[in-house]
């Protein structure tokens, strides 16, 4: 193998790569003149919104997709012409779990070792550190399909490292993985870089991950928007980030307003106010909110990213949706501050599957117009709770009330009419147009005639779907599909909205738009119950509940939860720090669920 | 370092892939069900349930004047294993019975029946058959004619009258002397089953890898596209031959279909046909990349044509010219011919060799196509 070692000078260089795709909307330039370099033994992040071209680029580098023009050199090979030689040395982990679910952990490892020509006598030596790092040792004979989401990703990493490749390409390795597993995964990768001088090129949608990389390449619409050390990019945003508070408006009202002010590049609710990134040196606030408290705050990577993106993409201003054009205000007016009414009441809710208790005496309630986050690792019981709420699953014991009605004693159809449900999977009919989907979903809830027509027109206007009315749902860009899914789930005017990991895999830009809509709905009195793995997203919630093994570990506002994790070492913990700490307290590390 | 792999490395990779594929077959009950349970089920259904023989067919008999001749003929009919005659007073009630599907045909002995027999004139016999089921209709017609001939012959032997027919018809059925349709159906069915195992199974398993994203992982390793195809081929070839073995054993021992050819010829020709079927499956899945679509294409383009156009149930010679031309591009039609020959007639080189050559040409074509259209690229 030693004589086989590829030259170490240029580990990876990309020069003027162009790749186009034909689609029903015309030619799409997935990669448009992309160039950058990756130094040996470093972690380089490929960051950008969905459809930026990250996956296309990684596939070209792995030699499994051709480029239209341009050139790449990896480990001294050209992936376009020397793929077989390159693939002997390269590690690649695709975005979609690429392992065989009907093979065991050990069989998957052996398959990859065989395919990479790892001699049997070296395997024990190579497997041992991989199995101990990933904590998969005790699960060698378990089928890969029976592993949790986090463990699957770890196995994917282990398989792509089985031949000790000098370079590893990873395509969004942490999507859909809970925060604890995510942190473990990064520890494995960091150790690989530290101890074996492995070079990593990783694409990700998590901004907090990006700040830990040696270098980042920001991709947008196929073009490189920025490149450099994350610290350098962050320092560019210094002096442009502020925390804005306006006592008479809640952040939920203030944020969408500020987001539309010219000169403000990004606005996101935080800590009783709104965090804004501005073009100049001070927020250009309009006169009507002049009595605002403005404080400069140190920038984060996400601020820098949004700044670059806004500059590169050219900020588009949308017309503000007004409450008058939707139907809620004449049904359930938003409550005045201080008013409280319970929309969901859950008491001692328990559900057993055989001897396994999925939900264990769960008690909490969600107020009218409240956004309530249900957080927890995979398998904590969130989905089971959701299924019981929507009447798809009967509780073993306990009480469940929706709008004062006992779910168990009422007709399911009656309860369903009050619920809107949006799952993480795309659950619309991809062959139907946007309009046809909305007609179908409103009809399913019994709407017809003028009322239905008016309602669909309202919904299409509110979600700005008019331009896509006659497009097939399956051909929409991801952000618009998400928007349509939300539109379909609220089309029948539900008073309660259940969102199951609604923004999994959605980029920061689309995520902000999504949450602004959710905030808007909550202002009109819709109660929202949401599960998510994004802790930054949990910050949008009024209150969050953290679940583990079917039980409630903590309940409170994001600020309260953060406060619980405050220690002398971490005086200002993030919600993610708090989440991990709570979970570790409940369950000692090293014991997988 | 060299770009090409050593033979040993190739062998290691193919072995690893074959092992992986075999483990998946063993663990996924659906592929075993298609390979073993489906043939058994199909054979049981066709072996026991479907029969192209007409036996105990209810038939209406209308006798306008009772004469010794007509009585004799009806008695002959009663003795035949094929018919259950029922008497009706007149033609109208018989037609009504036919309409109600109480009977499959009408035998109408006109008033002049007895006289015409004696006087060499046109006989007053009318036969009406229900043409809705064309197959049965033809059988009823044939059997009635047969019974008629038997009866005439019987009369001649007794010397009661001269035959109006100097030459008597003597029907002899070669190769299937018992005229059991099962003997003829089972070999054809085996060909259809082999098409199903070969095409359906492989088309689904490659498409499955596309769907689950496992092919993207595989493509990023040094394994070549040729090695992937070989490793898909080997386990399903073995599985297909196992299905073939089960079918032959059931056909011979359960349904008592004779096996007049040799096992060696049966094995070689089956291997040749299975290669063709697997090739079709692999081409389909390479093109479709989606299990559902692959399954549909496999059924529409391989299984159904094999069922309808291979001569397994419907005789190719009685098809219109255009359809007959079409049957030449159905590999199963060659295999049906081979199997019917091997089972019922024996190793007849004049039948087996040209058909085997056709199958060989098909598999060559399909694998050449496969090499041309498959690339180790994900788009």
Q: How does pLDDT run across A162-180, given as a tens digit for each residue?
A: 999 999 999 988 877 788 8
| pLDDT at residue A4 tops 80 | no
Place of tokens 């058909």: B355
Between residues A410 and A377, the one the model is more confident about: A377
Average pLDDT over residues A204-210: 82
Q: Give me the tens of pLDDT residue by residue for chain B, a chain 379 residues long.
A: 444 578 888 999 999 999 999 999 988 887 788 888 888 988 888 777 666 566 677 888 888 777 777 777 788 778 777 778 888 888 888 888 888 888 888 888 777 766 655 555 556 677 777 766 666 677 777 777 777 777 777 766 665 544 444 444 444 445 454 556 777 788 888 888 888 888 888 888 888 888 888 999 999 999 988 899 999 999 999 989 998 999 999 989 988 888 899 999 999 999 999 999 999 999 998 888 888 888 889 888 888 888 888 877 777 777 888 888 888 888 998 999 999 899 988 888 888 999 999 999 999 999 999 888 888 887 6
Residues 1..20 of A with a Cβ closer than 8 Å to B: which? Answer: 3-4, 6
CB pairs under 8 A between A and B: 93
Per CB-CB distance under 8 Å, the chain B contacts of A85 are: 1-3
Q: By CA distance, what is A111's nearest residue in B?
A: B16
Q: pTM of the entire structure?
A: 0.78
User: Residue B306: what pLDDT?
Assistant: 86
CB contact under 8 A, A115 and B3: no
DSSP states of B221-266: SS--HHHHHHHHHHHHHHHHHHHHHHHHHIIIIIS-----S-HHHH
Which tokens belong to A15? 């020069």
Per CB-CB distance under 8 Å, the chain B contacts of A118 are: none
Q: By CA distance, what is B376's nearest residue in A?
A: A64
Per CB-CB distance under 8 Å, the chain A contacts of B28 are: 102
Spatial contact of A328 and A525, defined as CB atoms under 8 Å apart: yes
Spatial contact of A199 and A166, defined as CB atoms under 8 Å apart: yes
Nearest to A85 among B1, B17, B28 (CB): B1
Per CB-CB distance under 8 Å, the chain A contacts of B4 are: 84
Tell me how far the alpha carbon of residue A72 is from its chain's centroid: 30
CB contact under 8 A, A117 and B28: no
CB contact under 8 A, B1 and A100: no
Residues 196..225 of B with a Cβ closer than 8 Å to A: which? Answer: 212-214, 216-224
Nearest to A117 among B9, B20, B217 (CB): B9
CB contact under 8 A, A115 and B222: yes
Does any CB of chain A come closer than 8 Å to the CB of residue B28?
A: yes
User: Residue A328: what pLDDT?
Assistant: 39
pLDDT tens by residue, A238-283: 999 999 888 878 888 888 888 888 888 888 888 778 899 988 888 8
User: CB pairs under 8 A, 24+ apart, for B137-141?
Assistant: B137/B104, B137/B105, B139/B52, B139/B53, B139/B54, B139/B57, B140/B54, B140/B57, B140/B59, B140/B104, B140/B105, B141/B105
Whole-angstrom distance between the N-terminal and C-terminal Cα of chain A?
Answer: 39
Per CB-CB distance under 8 Å, the chain B contacts of A98 are: 212-214, 216-218
Place of tokens 């080997």: B234
Does any CB of chain A come closer than 8 Å to the CB of residue B119?
A: no
User: Residue B1: what pLDDT?
Assistant: 42
For residue B208, is it left (φ>0), alpha (ψ between -120 and 50) or beta?
Answer: alpha
CB neighbour burial string for B257-285, b if at least 16 within 10 angstroms, e if fewer: beeebeeebbeebbebbbbbbbbbbbbbb
Per CB-CB distance under 8 Å, the chain B contacts of A62 are: 219-220
The DSSP bridge partners found for residue B237 are: none
CA A559/CA A550 separation, integer angstroms: 23
pLDDT band at A217 (very low <50, low <70, confident <90, very high): very high
Nearest to A94 among B20, B217, B223 (CB): B217
Per CB-CB distance under 8 Å, the chain A contacts of B12 are: 114, 117
Which tokens belong to B359? 């199958």
Does any CB of chain B come closer than 8 Å to the CB of residue A295?
A: no
Kindly report the backbone phi and psi dihedral angles of residue B123, in degrees, each rounded to the nearest multiple of 5, phi listed first.
Answer: -80, 145
Contacts of A328 (CB under 8 A, 6+ apart): A493, A521, A524, A525, A526
Tell me how far the alpha carbon of residue B98 is from its chain's centroid: 30
CB neighbour burial string for A469-505, b if at least 16 within 10 angstroms, e if fewer: eebbbeebeebbbbbbbbbbbbbbbbbbbbbbbbbbe
Q: What percent of chain A is modeled with pLDDT above 90?
A: 31
Which tokens belong to A299? 């920038």
pLDDT tens by residue, A457-495: 988 888 888 888 888 887 777 778 888 889 999 888 899
Does any CB of chain B come closer than 8 Å to the CB of residue A208?
A: no
Nearest to A117 among B28, B217, B222 (CB): B222
Does any CB of chain A come closer than 8 Å to the CB of residue B16?
A: yes
Chain B nearest C-alpha distance from A113 (Å): 9
CB contact under 8 A, B214 and A99: yes
CB contact under 8 A, A117 and B220: no
Q: Which of A56, A84, A86 to mutate to test the interface with B (most CBs of B within 10 A)?
A: A84
Spatial contact of B53 and B183, defined as CB atoms under 8 Å apart: no
Which tokens belong to A494? 């539900």
Name the residue among A293, A107, A93 with its Cα closest to residue A201. A93
CA A225/CA A309 separation, integer angstroms: 7
The beta strand positions in A503-593, using DSSP E, are 527-531, 543-548, 551-556
Compute how many other C-beta atoms are within 10 angstroms of the C-beta atom of residue B373: 11
CB contact under 8 A, A117 and B16: no
Does any CB of chain A come closer than 8 Å to the CB of residue B324?
A: no
The DSSP bridge partners found for residue B63 are: B109
Does any CB of chain B come closer than 8 Å to the CB of residue A78?
A: no
User: Residue A44: what pLDDT?
Assistant: 94
CA A226/CA A308 separation, integer angstroms: 7
H helix or E strand, kind and range, residue A115 = helix A105-115
pLDDT band at A334 (very low <50, low <70, confident <90, very high): very low
pLDDT band at A110 (very low <50, low <70, confident <90, very high): very high
Spatial contact of B221 and A87, defined as CB atoms under 8 Å apart: yes
Chain A nearest C-alpha distance from B21 (Å): 10
Does any CB of chain B come closer than 8 Å to the CB of residue A152?
A: no
Per CB-CB distance under 8 Å, the chain A contacts of B2 are: 85
CA B220/CA B21 separation, integer angstroms: 18
Q: What percent of chain A is modeled with pLDDT above 70?
A: 91
CB contact under 8 A, B377 and A112: no
Does any CB of chain A come closer than 8 Å to the CB of residue B375?
A: no
CA B301/CA B280 separation, integer angstroms: 9
Q: By CA distance, what is A117's nearest residue in B?
A: B9
Q: How far is CA B331 from CA B323, B328, B334, B350, in A?
A: 14, 7, 6, 18
Identify the three-state secondary structure at position A72: strand
Chain A nearest C-alpha distance from B344 (Å): 43
């Amino acid at each position: 193998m030693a004589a086989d070692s590829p030259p170490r000078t240029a580990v990876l260089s990309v020069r003027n790569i162009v790749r186009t795709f034909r689609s029903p909307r015309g030619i799409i330039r997935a990669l448009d003149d992309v160039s950058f370099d990756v130094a040996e033994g470093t972690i380089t992040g490929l960051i950008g919104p969905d459809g930026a071209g990250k996956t296309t680029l990684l596939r070209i580098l792995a030699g499994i997709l051709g480029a239209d023009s341009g050139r790449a050199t990896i480990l001294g090979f050209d992936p376009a012409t020397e793929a077989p030689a390159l693939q002997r040395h390269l590690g690649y982990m695709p975005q979609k779990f690429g392992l065989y679910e009907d093979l065991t952990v050990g069989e998957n490892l052996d398959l990859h070792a065989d395919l990479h020509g790892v001699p049997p006598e070296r395997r024990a030596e190579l497997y041992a550190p991989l199995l101990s790092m990933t904590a998969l040792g005790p699960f060698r004979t378990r089928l890969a399909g029976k592993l949790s989401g986090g463990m699957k990703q770890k196995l994917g990493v282990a398989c792509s490292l089985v031949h000790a490749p000098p370079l590893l390409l990873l395509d969004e390795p942490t999507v859909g993985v809970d925060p604890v597993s995510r942190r473990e995964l990064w520890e494995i990768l960091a150790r690989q870089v530290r101890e074996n001088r492995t070079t990593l090129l990783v694409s990700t949608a998590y901004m907090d991950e990006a700040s830990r990389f040696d270098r980042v390449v920001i991709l947008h619409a196929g073009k490189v928007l920025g490149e450099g050390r994350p610290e350098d990019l962050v320092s560019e945003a210094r002096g442009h980030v502020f925390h804005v508070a306006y006592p008479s408006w809640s952040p939920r009202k203030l944020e969408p307003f500020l987001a539309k002010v010219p000169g403000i590049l990004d606005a996101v609710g935080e800590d009783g106010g709104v965090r804004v990134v501005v073009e100049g040196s001070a927020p250009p606030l309009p006169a009507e909110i002049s009595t605002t408290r403005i404080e400069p705050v140190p920038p984060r990577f996400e601020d820098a990213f949004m700044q670059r993106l806004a500059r590169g993409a050219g900020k588009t201003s949308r017309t503000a949706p007004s409450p008058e054009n939707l139907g809620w205000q004449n049904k359930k007016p938003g409550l005045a501050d201080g008013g409280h009414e319970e929309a969901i009441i859950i008491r001692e809710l328990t559900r057993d599957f055989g001897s396994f208790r999925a939900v264990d005496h769960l008690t909490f309630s969600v107020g009218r117009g409240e956004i309530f986050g249900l957080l927890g690792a995979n398998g904590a019981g969130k989905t089971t709770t959701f299924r019981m709420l929507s009447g798809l699953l009967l509780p073993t014991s306990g009480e469940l009330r929706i709008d004062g009605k006992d779910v168990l004693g009422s007709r399911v159809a009656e309860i369903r009419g009050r619920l809107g449900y949006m799952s993480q999977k795309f659950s619309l009919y991809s062959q139907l147009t946007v309009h046809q989907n909305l007609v179908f979903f409103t009809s399913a809830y019994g709407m017809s005639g003028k009322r239905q027509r008016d309602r669909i027109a309202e919904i299409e206007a509110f979600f700005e779907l008019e331009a896509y009315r006659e497009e097939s749902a399956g051909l929409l860009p991801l952000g618009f599909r998400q928007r349509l899914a939300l539109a379909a789930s609220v089309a029948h005017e539900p008073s309660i909205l259940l969102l199951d990991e609604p923004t999994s895999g959605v980029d920061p830009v689309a995520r902000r738009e999504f949450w602004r809509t959710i905030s808007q709905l909550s202002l009109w009195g819709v109660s929202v119950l949401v599960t998510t793995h994004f802790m930054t997203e949990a910050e949008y919630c009024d209150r969050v509940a953290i679940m583990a093994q079917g039980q409630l570990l903590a309940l409170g506002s994001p600020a309260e939860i953060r406060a619980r994790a405050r220690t002398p070492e971490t005086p200002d913990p993030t919600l993610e720090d708090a989440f991990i700490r709570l979970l570790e307290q409940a369950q000692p590390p090293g014991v997988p669920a | 370092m060299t770009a090409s792999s050593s033979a040993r490395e190739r062998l290691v990779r193919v072995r690893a892939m074959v092992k992986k594929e075999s483990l998946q077959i063993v663990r996924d009950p659906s592929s075993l069900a298609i390979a073993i349970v489906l043939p058994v089920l199909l054979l049981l259904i066709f072996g026991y349930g479907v029969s192209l023989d007409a036996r105990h067919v209810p038939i209406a008999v209308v006798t306008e004047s009772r004469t010794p001749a007509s009585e004799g003929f009806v008695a002959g009919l009663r003795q035949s294993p094929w018919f259950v005659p029922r008497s009706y007073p007149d033609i109208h009630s018989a037609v009504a019975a036919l309409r109600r599907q109480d009977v499959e045909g009408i035998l109408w002995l006109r008033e002049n029946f007895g006289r015409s027999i004696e006087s060499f004139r046109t006989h007053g016999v009318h036969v009406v058959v229900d043409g809705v089921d064309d197959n049965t209709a033809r059988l009823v017609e044939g059997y009635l004619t047969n019974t008629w001939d038997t009866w005439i012959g019987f009369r001649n032997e007794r010397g009661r009258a001269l035959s109006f027919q100097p030459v008597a018809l003597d029907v002899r059925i070669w190769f299937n002397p018992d005229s059991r349709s099962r003997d003829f159906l089972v070999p054809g069915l085996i060909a259809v089953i082999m098409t199903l195992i070969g095409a359906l199974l492989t088309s689904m398993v490659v498409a499955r890898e596309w769907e689950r994203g496992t092919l993207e992982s595989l493509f990023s390793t040094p394994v070549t596209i040729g090695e992937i195809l070989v490793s898909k081929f080997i386990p399903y070839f073995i599985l297909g031959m196992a299905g073939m073995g089960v079918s032959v054993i059931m056909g011979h021992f359960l349904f008592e279909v004779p096996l007049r050819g040799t096992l060696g010829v049966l094995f070689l020709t089956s291997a040749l046909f299975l290669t063709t079927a697997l090739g079709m499956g692999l081409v389909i899945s390479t093109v479709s990349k989606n299990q559902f679509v692959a399954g549909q294409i496999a059924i529409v383009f391989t299984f159904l044509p094999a069922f309808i156009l291979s001569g397994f149930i419907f005789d190719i010679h009685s098809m219109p010219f255009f359809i007959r031309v079409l049957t030449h591009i159905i590999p199963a039609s060659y295999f049906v011919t081979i199997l019917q020959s091997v089972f019922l007639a024996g190793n007849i080189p004049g039948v087996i060799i040209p058909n085997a050559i056709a199958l060989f040409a098909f598999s060559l074509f399909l694998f050449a196509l496969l090499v041309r259209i498959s690339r180790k690229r994900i788009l």
